[in-house]
Structures are given as C-alpha cells and as structure tokens.
Amino acid sequence: MPIENRNLLAGTRLVANYKKQRYVCNVVVGEKGEGVDFVLEDGTRHKSLSAAGSRVMAGQAVNGWRFWSLEGAAPETQIAAAPTAANPPRTTTKKAKKLIFKTPNQSGVAQGKTKWFCSACLKSFVADGDTEPQVCPEGHRIDDPLNFGGVGTPEKEPEAPQPVAEGDYVIDSDGRPISQDEAPAAVEEEEQTDADRA
C-alpha cells in the first residue's frame, strides 16, 4: 500500500516485496541531525525512498512512495481480493466436453437410424435408433478425459514410400507422385525453384 503521509519519523519501519522476497527499510535521523535517511538491511544509507527502492531493484528507477509500505499495513492486493459475505469467491468447474454429437442435418438417413459426428476422428457415422452412442466406430469414447480422441497408444505415423523397383514412385513435398527415375531431377528442380523464391 503506497505511503500517504510523507512526514516519516525516525524509527519507522518500511517493507517491500520484490521478486518474492521481502525487504525492510528503517527510517533514521539524517547524518547531520537534519531530516531523515533510509537504511536498508544491508546497511546502505539513502537520502530518498526512491534511491532505497532503486537499490533493491538493482538500479531500476522506482517511485519510492509507491514501492515501500508501512510495516503492518495490508498490501492493496490483499484488501481488494478479500471475499465478503455479500461477494463470495467464485469457483469455476470445467465442464467435460463430449466427443460425439448428433448431427443437425439428418436428411438422407434411413428411418430408425441417426447420424452422429465424432470430433476426435472428425468422421460421421450412422447408428441404429436415437440413443446416444458411447463409442464411435473408431473406438473414441464419448467422455474421453483427454479430449484428443486417442484410444490407447497413438498409432505410429506411416513412413514415406520408398521406391524398391523400377517403375515405383515416391511422393514429393507437394504431394505429387514422381517416378523413381524423375525423383533426383525433380528434387534438384524444386531446390532451384526454392532458391529463386528467396
């Protein structure tokens, strides 16, 4: 809480929290018996609260009247955050998301069947009756707690096809099939095109 009364008396203790550490500053009589000085715990003596706060903050400029608080005064954040009987603290619970939904458009579906959509595998499927299915044909549960749709361990991604005999083809980076004979030339051509773009 910022200091409002700027007429601090010798013997007053000031506190500040910076980077999860508490600092103390004592107000003492000035060196020549005039005014006050501010002494930190490390023994350094400062002519202003801003200089003392700057020392704590490794040389950064700071408004000392806002940085320091009177010892025993409640910080602003604690006052503002204190719940009252009229304003109890809010508690939020995360609602579980369902992975399987009934599709809004049921046209073209045979009578006695219902079209559903699984947001885990992003596929539609038709089930008998109007009862909500608990699992899609791919095996995703309606209440999958991870909401990623994976059942068990994730499948290993298939490796890119490797040419094994003459006449086989490979897929280039743009998804086009290239025969084994064309592959080296196509790669060089692609590299040249990429270099021209840069």
Residue 61 lies in a domain: yes
Domain assignment of residue 147, yes or no: no
- 37: in domain: yes
Q: Which residue bears the tokens 């350094």?
A: 44
pLDDT of residue 77: 46
81 and 75 Cβ atoms separated by less than 8 Å = no
- pLDDT on residue 3: 81
Is position 130 within any domain? no
Residue 187 lies in a domain: no
Q: With respect to residue 114, please indicate whether it lies within any of the assigned structural domains.
A: no
Predicted pLDDT at 140: 83
* One pLDDT digit (tens) per residue for the chain, 198 residues: 678 777 888 888 999 989 989 999 999 998 888 889 999 999 999 999 999 999 999 899 999 889 998 887 755 444 444 556 666 666 666 565 678 888 888 888 888 999 988 888 888 889 888 888 888 888 888 877 665 444 444 445 555 555 444 455 656 666 666 665 555 554 555 555 556 665
Q: Which residues have a Cβ under 8 Å from the Cβ of 2 and sit 6 or more positions away?
A: 65, 66, 69
Question: How much is the pLDDT for 46?
Answer: 92
Which residue's structure tokens are 């508490």? 22
Question: How far from chain centre, in Å, is Cα 54?
Answer: 31
Q: Tell me how far apart the alpha carbons of residues 172 and 84 are, in angstroms, rounded to a whole number.
A: 65
**pLDDT value of position 61:** 92
Work out how many domains the chain is built from and give that number.
1
For the record, the structure tokens of 58 come out as: 């490794």
Residue 35 belongs to a domain: yes
Range of the domain at 29: 13-81
105 domain residue, yes or no: no
Selection from 100, 113, 109 nearest residue 144 by Cα: 100
